Amino acid sequence: MRNKILVTGGAGFIGSNFVLDWMPLERESIVNLDKLTYAGNLQNLALLEGDHRHIFVRGDIGDTDLVAKLLAEHQPRAIVNFAAESHVDRSIHGPAEFIETNIVGIFILLEATRAYWAGLNEDSKKQFRFLHVSTDEVYGSLSPTDPAFTETKQYEPNSPYSASKAASDHLVRAYHHTYGLPVLTTNCSNNYGPYHFPEKLIPLVIHNALAGKPLPIYGDGQQVRDWLYVKDHAAAIRRVLEVGMVGETYNIGGWNEKPNLDVVHTLCAILDELSPRADGKSYAEQVTYVTDRPGHDRRYAIDATKISRDLGWKPAESFETGIRKTVQWYLDNQEWVKNITSGAYKDWVTKQYQGA
């Protein structure tokens, strides 16, 4: 029985939370492969410094020789793939990187995995799993009255990012049906929590609020998202890896549909309580409306009935408990925020929110 798993993209937001939660709960070691792009940060994994069970390798899932070498050397019994370009706005400005990583990179990773898996003995073949982490954005947009996304919902991606993730999902499915590769796919709703790069709504609002900057709201702020605390997501992935049925897809959601504007006002209220402005005014006064992004999906919602019914998972955090923990984490980790908000990040914010 092998005692390692390979995690790709394990220095990013969701990947690092998965790795941090895995280590004290499981006996298996993790080989962590991450390219360390702008959103991958070794500081996310600082708590594991000196832990010999965490083996970090800087590299690209699109590097055929490196992936093959890691598989041969470490003989993992599973691969959990978080590696992806994952921001809609960035995909609008520069889609090429999303095609390269989310489609070509996944193809190369799957090919290397198929070759490795084919060389295993029959028992190891049966035990091996390739778990692909995807997004609810592949399903497209919902009207206010549409039912939430189920695993059988037709794919209707509306951005270069979601289209590239849809393509990767299809490749994973094809490698199972064509070659027999034992795969699992998860599609999650919007995550939030510790170590979230401050280009996404919740960490951006916290960062800008504390810095006295405008809190940019796209359009009318009524875009609805289903919010999932990242550590609940990590627990769901562990559960799918443990007992998920090969070839199946599992939607992971928080049962927390909220308009973006409500989320921002909730953040402002918590910040007013935990870290009040010096002038005594509410952070909500910093809210600024900016031009909506092209093709902005109006509503996402995940129906997580299947994973609850079949695998016994449900989120431990409500939105109210999770968002308070998140704000407190950012207040307690301002040095992390300071270090990650580099010049490259500031340049991107200026480009994205001109006039905000």
Of residues 34, 85, 137, 169, which has the active-site annotation? 137
Q: Rounded to the nearest 5°, which phi and psi values hold at 41?
A: -140, 120
Structure tokens at 291: 């031009």
Structure tokens at 115: 């070759």
Task: Confirm whether 34 is a catalytic residue.
Answer: no
d(CA 207, CA 199) in angstroms, rounded, equals 10
Alpha helices in the chain (DSSP H): 13-25, 64-74, 88-93, 96-99, 106-118, 122-127, 160-179, 201-210, 230-243, 260-274, 305-311, 319-332, 334-340, 343-352
Burial letters 269-289, b for 16+ CB under 10 A, else e: ebbbeeeebeeeebbeebbee
Radius of gyration of the chain (CA): 20
Task: Confirm whether 136 is a catalytic residue.
Answer: yes
> Residues 75, 76, 82, 83: what is their CA dihedral angle, to the nearest 10 degrees?
0
In this structure, is the dihedral angle defined by the CA atoms of residues 285, 90, 163 and 200, taken in order, positive or negative?
negative
Q: Rounded to the nearest 5°, which phi and psi values hold at 181?
A: -60, 130
Of residues 60, 85, 89, 161, which has the active-site annotation? 161
Residue 204: other Cβ atoms inside 10 A: 20
Structure tokens at 230: 């990242």
Of residues 34, 136, 232, 257, which has the active-site annotation? 136
Task: Confirm whether 161 is a catalytic residue.
Answer: yes
d(CA 143, CA 95) in angstroms, rounded, equals 26
**Any idea which residues carry the catalytic annotation?**
136-137, 161
